[in-house]
Structure 1
Amino acid sequence: MPKAVLTGGGTAGHVMLNLALIPHLRARGIDVAYIGSRDGLERRLLAAAAADVPYYAVSTGKLRRYFDWQNFKDPFRVAAGVVEAARLLGRLRPDVVFSKGGFVAVPVVLAARLRGLPVVAHESDLTPGLANRIALPFVREVLVTFPETKARLRHPRVRLVGGVVREALLNGRREEGRRLCGFSSPEDRARPGRAKPVLLVTGGSLGARKLNEALRARLDDFLARYAIIHLTGEQGYDPSLRRPGYCQFAFAREELPHLFAAADLAVSRAGANTIFELAALSIPMLLVPLSRAQSRGDQIENARSFERRGLARVLPDEAVTPEALLQAVTALEAEAEAIRRRLLEARDGLIARPEAVADVIAAYAGGTSLD
Structure 2
Amino acid sequence: MTNVVLAGGGTAGHTSPLIATAKALRAAEPDVRIVCIGTAKGLETKVIPEAGLTLELITPVPLPRTLNLDLVKLPYTLTRSVLESRRVLKEAKADVLVGFGGYVSIPAYLAARTAGVPVVVHEANKLAGIANKIGARFARFVGTTFSETQLPGGQLIGMPMSRSITHPTVDAAQAREQFGLAPDRPTLLVSGGSQGAVRINEALEQARDDLLAAGIQILHVLGPKNFDEAVHAVVTAPTGAQYRPVAFVSDMAVAYAAADLMVGRAGAGTVMETAVSGLPVIFVPLPWGNGEQGRNAAELVAAEAGVLVPDGDLSGARLTDVVTGILGDPERLAQMSAACRDMYPADAAQALAAATLAVV
State the TM-score, normalized to the length of structure 2.
Answer: 0.90
CA deviation string 1:11-48 (max 9, x = no partner): 12111111122232123142111122244321222122
Preserved contact between residue 285 and residue 332 of structure 1 (Cα < 8 Å): no
CA deviation string 1:142-177 (max 9, x = no partner): 11011111xxx141x211012322112322332232
Please provide the CA RMSD for this pair.
1.9
The one-letter amino acid of 1:17's match is P
Residue among 227, 233, 243 paired with 1:237: 227
Partners of 2:119 and 2:93 lie apart in 1 by 13
Q: Which position in structure 1 is the counterpart of 2:358?
A: 363
Partners of 2:66 and 2:317 lie apart in 1 by 33
Partners of 1:66 and 1:303 lie apart in 2 by 29
Q: Which position in structure 2 is the counterpart of 1:58?
A: 58
| 1:165-244 equivalent positions in 2, closer than 5 A | 165-169=161-165, 170-184=168-182, 195-225=184-214, 226-239=216-229, 240=231, 241-244=233-236
Preserved contact between residue 9 and residue 39 of structure 2 (Cα < 8 Å): yes
Cα distance change on mapping 1:321 and 1:261 into 2, 3 Å: same
State the TM-score, normalized to the length of structure 1.
Answer: 0.87
Q: Which position in structure 2 is the counterpart of 1:279?
A: 275
Unmatched 5+ residue regions in structure 1? 189-194, 366-371
1:343 aligns with 2:345: no
Give the secondary structure class of the aligned counterpart of 1:148.
coil
1:159 aligns with 2:151: no
The one-letter amino acid of 1:360's match is A
Preserved contact between residue 30 and residue 362 of structure 1 (Cα < 8 Å): no
Question: For this pair of structures, how many residues does the alignment match?
Answer: 345
Q: CA deviation at 1:209?
A: 0.6
Preserved contact between residue 18 and residue 100 of structure 1 (Cα < 8 Å): yes
Identity of aligned residues (%): 32
1:319 aligns with 2:317: no
| 1:16-35 equivalent positions in 2, closer than 5 A | 16-27=16-27, 28=29, 29-35=31-37
Residue among 284, 291, 294 paired with 1:288: 284
Q: CA deviation at 1:59?
A: 2.1
CA deviation string 1:305-347 (max 9, x = no partner): 3212332110011111111111222333333122112123x34
Q: CA deviation at 1:2?
A: 1.4
Unmatched 5+ residue regions in structure 2? 237-241
| 1:136-155 equivalent positions in 2, closer than 5 A | 136-149=136-149, 153-155=150-152
Q: CA deviation at 1:233?
A: 0.6
| 1:2-41 equivalent positions in 2, closer than 5 A | 2-27=2-27, 28=29, 29-41=31-43
Q: CA deviation at 1:243?
A: 0.9
Partners of 2:119 and 2:305 lie apart in 1 by 33
Preserved contact between residue 119 and residue 139 of structure 2 (Cα < 8 Å): yes
The one-letter amino acid of 1:4's match is V
Partners of 1:38 and 1:250 lie apart in 2 by 20
